[in-house]
Amino acid sequence: MKENWVNTLSRVLYIDLARKDYWVEDREDLFGEWLGGIGVATKLYGEEVASNADPLGPENSIIFSVGPLTAIYPMASKTIAVFKSPLNNNFSESHAGGRSASAMRFAGYGAIIIRYASERPVYLIIEPDKVRFRDAGALWGVRSAETVGRILREVTSGAGLRSILRIGGAGERLVRYASVMVETFRHFGRMGLGAVFGSKKLKAIVIIAGKNFKIPDLKEYREVRRELYELTRGPGTKKYHDLGTAENVIPLNVLGALPTRNFSGGRFEGAEEISGEKLAETMLARRVACSACPVACIHLAAIREEYEEEKFLYKTEFISYDYEPIYALGTNLGINDRFGLLKMLKAVEDWGLDAISTGVVLSWATEAFECGLINKDETLVSLRWGDWRAYIEAIKNIVLQPNEFYKTLALGVEEAAKKYGGREFALSFNKVEPAGYLTGPLYFISLAVGSRHSHLDAGAYSLDQKIFSRGEVLPKPEEAARMIAEEEAWRQVLTSLALCLFARSIYTPEKVTKALNALGYGFTPEELKKLGWKIYLEKQRIKRSEGFRPSEIRLPERIFETPTPLGKISKEYFQQALSAFDEVMGKWA
C-alpha cells in the first residue's frame, strides 16, 4: 500500500527555461526514502546545483516541493523552495503557503525543478500534464507584484484551483533580498528567491490543480484526519488565529527581547501602538487562510486614506501584518505610527522585497547616517528613526537604485557595511539579516547555522525563554549547539511532510506516524526521528561542500553589547558553540 501513496507524489516536473522544454520523471527513489518537502528538495538540490554555481547564473536551479500530507491533513499547507541564495552563496530554503501547495499537489507534481534562464521575460502556466511558456514582455517592468497577480488572474483559467507566484520590481532588478509573492500576502520571503527568478527572467508561475488521488484506506484516514482537525482548532493554535503572530509584540517587549532601533535595545516605548491588540482593535479587516488550514493566521488590515491633494477622495487598501514585519520595519526603525508602519509594509509588498532584510538594511543605514558614515549625498533622503515617509522613499530607492549607495544597499547589509563602514552594527548572520528576537545566545547561534534564517529554523528563541523563565544557567556551548541541531533535525520531518510549523505542537512524532501510516506508510516515531537527522546532515554536507563553516562567519559586535533577558551574550560562548557545531558536522556530515 505504501507504494501507492508514494506514487501519487513522486512525479517530478523538470522545466528548462533556456530551451522552453519540460518533461516528467518518476522519482520514487527519492520520495520513498526522503518523504517529500525539504527531504526530497535537499537531495534534488544536490543533484542540480554545483557547489561553485553562481546563484544568479543560469546554473542555479529552483526546486519546489510538497509532501505526502499536503492538503489532505489540516495545516499541511506549505511549499518548500530550495535554491542557492544570492545573499550568501549557500544552499538555502524558504517556505510559503497560500494555495501553492494544494495547487502543485493536485497538478500532480511532488516537485518542480526550474533550470537555466530564459533569454527574454517569460511566465509559466503549469497544469496537469502540460506546461505553457508565455511571453512576459507585457508584464516585465510592472513594478507591483500585486498588479502582476491581478493581471494574471484575468488572463489565466483555473479560478479557485490555482496559485500565482510572481515577482515585483525588486526581483527584476536583482535586489538580493527580493521575495516571491504567492497569491497575495504570502511569500517566499527570505533568502532572495525573487532575485533568482529575476536572473532567470522568470516573472511568474501559475499552477493549476486538476488531479485527484484515490485515498487508500478511507476509514482509517478519516479517523486520523478528524482527530488532527479537532486539535488544530484547539489551544495549540489559539495564538495564531486570535491576534496572529502580532500577539508577540507586547510579551517580547515586557521581556526586553523586542529588537529596537537596530538591536540597540530590547524595549520599544511605542510597542503598545503597533501591538497585535491595537492593530486588531483599529485596523483588522479580514482574516485569510492557506489551503487546508482551519486556523487562518493571515491578518489583513485596511488602510483608509484621503488623498492629500483632493479632499473627500479616499482609497482603501489591504495589507497583511505579522510579527516579523512589525519588528523589522517597526520597532527596529523606531516607528510607532500604525498607519505609517502599514504604509511601509505596503511598499515592501508592492515592490516585492523581504520585509525582514529591508528593515535591517534600513536600520543599519539610519545608524550609519546618524553617526556620519554616510550623508544625504548617498541616502538622498534624511533617514531618521520613526520617519516612515523617508523610509518609503528609501524602499523605492533600494529597488530603483538611482546611485551607487542604493546599488550597494540592494546587495544586503553585509556588502553595505563592507563598503561604508559600521560593520559592528551591521546585523547579519552568514550574510543574512536576522529575524526579530533578542532573547539570548541560543537564538542567534541558531541563525548562524540555519538555512532558512527564519525564527522557526530551530525555534531557539523558545529555548532561550525556557532557560530564562526557569532561572537556569546557560547550557555548555557544546550542549547549546546540540540542542539547536536536535530541534532542527526533527523539524526536517515536519517540513518534509510539508507542514506549517505553526502546527508543530500538534504534529508530535506519534501523531505524524499515525497520519503517515493511515496512508499506508509503515514508520515508527523513532524511524522518523532518525530520518530527520539524516536530512539535516545531508543539508549540512551540502553546505559544507559549498564552503560554509559556521565558526568562520562574521559576528556583529552589537549583539554582544545589547543586554538580553539572559544578560549580555558572551562572544567567547558564541564562538565555542559555533566551533562545536563545526566540529561535529565536519565529522558526521
Partner 1 sequence: MVKRVAILDANRCVGCQICMLICSERLGYAGLTKSAIWVVTPGGVERGFTVIVCRACKDPPCARVCPEEALKIRPGGGVLLDPRKCIGCGHCVAACDIGAIRLDPETGKPIVCVYCGYCTQFCPHHVIALEEVL
Which residues contribute to the site for partner 1 (CB under 8 A)? 8, 71-72, 74, 99, 102, 105-106, 146, 149-150, 153, 159-161, 183-185, 209-215, 218, 222, 229, 233, 286-296, 298, 300, 318
Q: How far is the CB of 318 from partner 1 (least distance, A)?
A: 4
Nearer to partner 1 (CB atom), residue 129 or residue 281: 129
Minimum CB separation of residue 29 from partner 1 in Å reads 23
Length, in residues, of the chain: 589
Nearer to partner 1, 268 or 502 (CB): 502
H runs (alpha helix) in 352-440: 355-370, 376-379, 388-400, 404-409, 413-420
What's the rounded Cα separation, in Å, for the pair 108 and 102? Answer: 10
What's the min distance (Å) between Cβ of 42 and partner 1?
25
In degrees, rounded to 5, the angle at the alpha carbon of residue 506 between the alpha carbons of residues 503 and 507 is: 85
Cβ at position 477, least distance to partner 1 in Å: 43
Nearer to partner 1, 99 or 544 (CB): 99
Q: Of 8 and 451, which has the nearer Cβ to partner 1? A: 8
Phi, psi of 251 (to 5 degrees): -60, -40
**Angstrom distance (rounded) from CA 239 to CA 417:** 37
User: Minimum distance from CB of 224 to partner 1 (Å)?
Assistant: 13
From the CB of 25, what's the least distance to partner 1, in Å? Answer: 22
Output the CA–CA distances (angstroms, integers) from residue 160 to 42, 188, 203, 264, in the order listed.
30, 21, 21, 46
For partner 1, which is the closer residue by CB, 214 or 311? 214
Please, what is the minimum distance in Å from the beta carbon of residue 125 to partner 1?
16
Between 293 and 374, CB nearer to partner 1: 293
How far apart are CB 56 and partner 1 at their closest, in Å? 30
Residue nearer to partner 1 on the CB measure, 201 or 233: 233
Rank residues 427 and 515 by Cβ distance to partner 1 and give the closer one: 515
Phi, psi of 263, rounded to the nearest 5 degrees: 65, 25
Pairwise CA distance, residues 373 & 376, whole Å: 11
Strand ranges of the sheet holding 79-84, from the earlier edge strand across to the other edge: 21-26, 11-16, 111-115, 62-65, 79-84, 91-96
Query: CA-CA distance, 439 to 446, in Å (whole number)?
Result: 12
CB of 454 to partner 1, least distance (A): 22
* 355 closest CA partner among 285, 433, 430: 433
CA-based nearest residue to 431, from 104, 200, 101, 88: 88
What is the rounded distance in angstroms from the CA atom of residue 436 to the CA atom of residue 456?
Answer: 11
Contact of 576 with 474, CB cutoff 8 Å: no
| Smallest distance from partner 1 to CB 480, Å | 38
Q: What 3-state class would DSSP assign to 62? A: strand
Residue partners of 238: CB distance under 8 A and separation at least 6: none
Looking at beta carbons only, is 49 or 145 nearer to partner 1?
Answer: 145
Q: State whether the Cα torsion 349-350-354-357 is positive or negative.
A: negative
| 8 Å CB contact between 368 and 426 | no
- CB-wise, 226 or 476, nearer to partner 1? 226
Q: At what angle do helices 145-155 and 338-351 cross, to 10 degrees?
A: 60
Give least dist CB 212 to partner 1, A: 3
**Which of 424, 441, 426 has its CA nearest to residue 565?**
441
Cell triple for 511: 501523531
Sheet order of strands, 180-182 included: 130-135, 122-127, 202-208, 162-166, 180-182, 186-188
Dihedral of alpha carbons 195, 198, 200, 204, sign? positive
Q: Which residues contact 486 (CB under 8 A, 6 or more apart)?
A: none
**What distance in Å separates the CA atoms of residue 303 and residue 280, rounded to the nearest whole number?**
13
Q: In the bound complex, what is the minimum distance in angstroms from residue 337's beta carbon to partner 1?
A: 22
Nearest to partner 1 of 300, 589 (CB atom): 300
Q: Which is nearer to partner 1, 233 or 534 (CB)?
A: 233
Min separation Cβ 546 and partner 1, Å: 37
Least distance from partner 1 to the Cβ atom of residue 232, Å:
8
Q: C-beta of 209: minimal distance to partner 1 in Å?
A: 5
Comparison of 86 and 244: residue with beta carbon closer to partner 1: 244
Residue labelled with grid coordinates 557544546: 478
The contacts of residue 155 (CB under 8 Å, 6+ apart) are none
Give residue 501's identity as a one-letter amino acid code: L
Q: Which residue has the cell 536583482?
A: 174
State which H helix or E strand residue 492 sits in.
helix 477-496
Q: Which is nearer to partner 1, 250 or 296 (CB)?
A: 296
